[in-house]
Structures are given as C-alpha cells and as structure tokens.
Structure 1
Amino acid sequence: MSDVIEQAVSALSAKMNGGFDGSVKFVIEGEGAIMVDSDGVRQGDEDAECTMTADAETFQAILEGDLNPTAAFMSGKLTVDGDMGTAMKLGTVLS
C-alpha cells in the first residue's frame, strides 16, 4: 500500500465515526483506490455506488478541510461517476 493510500485510509477512518450507509470508491490518480462502505474504510478497487476521482493533492486538501468537496467538483478537480446522492452524503461527512 502506498504512503498516500495508507494516510488517506487513516484520515478517512477518523472522520467516519462508524460505517457509511452506501458505497463509495475514491480513486487517487497514480496511487490506487480506497473503498468506503458499511464495513468501514480500506484499500480496495471494488464496484461501488459512486466513484470519485482526484489527484493526490486535491484529495489531501479535501481530507484536511482546506478544500470543500463541492468546490472541488465544481472546479473540475474532483470527478464523480455514479450516484450523486451517495457522493453528497459522503461530502457532508468530509466537510
């Protein structure tokens, strides 16, 4: 597991406070993928209701609270494929 993925799994786990009602895959370009679902947060590249893709810098800024997920999406730094409602639910957790 890359350092970026390992740090992202740890940071997301701390923000989640338990499971998530849905399934989201974060694809961090050049690093790998992270799954968030009712089982928690882990490295993985499985099917999900929603896939969010960003570069490592954007993803880190979102996790640190320096970049709002909605602003990242609107500016094209974050792409969302799949169920937008699930993406928005997770976005409120990350904000």
Structure 2
Amino acid sequence: MLQELLPRLQQGLENKSFDGSLKFDCGEDGVIVLADGTASDQDRDTDCTLRLSADNLMQLLAGKLNPMTAVMMGKIKISGNPKVAMSLADLLK
C-alpha cells in the first residue's frame, strides 16, 4: 500500500525545496521517509516523525484529511521538529 505512494511523493520532491527529513510512520504497514531529495521506504532517524495509519496517510496525501484537524483529533501524532511537518504542506501542493 505505501509502495504506491512513493512515486507520487518523489514527484512532489522534484523541483521543490524541502529542508530537513520527515518520516511517515504507519506502524506495521511500514514507513515512508522524505530526506535528501528522495522518498524511501527505508527506516531511519529523521528530524520529524508523523505517526498515523496508512489509511489516514492516503487521505492526507489526497487532500481529503486536513492536517491540523487530524492532529487535533489524534489521527496524527507529531514528534520531533514540528516546523519540518509544517513545510510538508508546500510539498503537497
């Protein structure tokens, strides 16, 4: 499921500046790491980690889940540098 998202995230990283590193941690479904201009499914330490279900990640990337609302409702948990998470919005445009 997460493998399907990698090409879209990689495309989002092209021609855009994304400082720092960010991990989508979907538990047993795996991880996606955005770092060094690439999207990968290789787990590593990052500046910021978003913990959420794979389904919520799909909705977030499709624009069907508002990130701020999701955080307030507990659907997304942020650890590390929240400034990196905030820059994700620019990347998804």
Q: Which TM-score applies when normalising by structure 1?
A: 0.85
Residue of structure 1 equivalent to 2:5: 8
Counterpart code for 1:45:
D
Cα RMSD for the two superposed structures: 1.6
Distance 1:85 1:21 in 2: 10
CA shift digits 1:73-95 (9 cap, x unpaired): 11110110000111111133235
Structure 1, unpaired ranges of 5+: none
Identity of aligned residues (%): 30
Q: TM-score, normalising length from structure 2?
A: 0.86
Counterpart residue number, 1:32? 30
Aligned length: 92
Q: Which runs of 5+ in 2 are unaligned?
A: none
Structure 1 residue 16: deviation in Å?
2.4
Give the alignment of 1:48-67 within 5 angstroms: 48-67=46-65
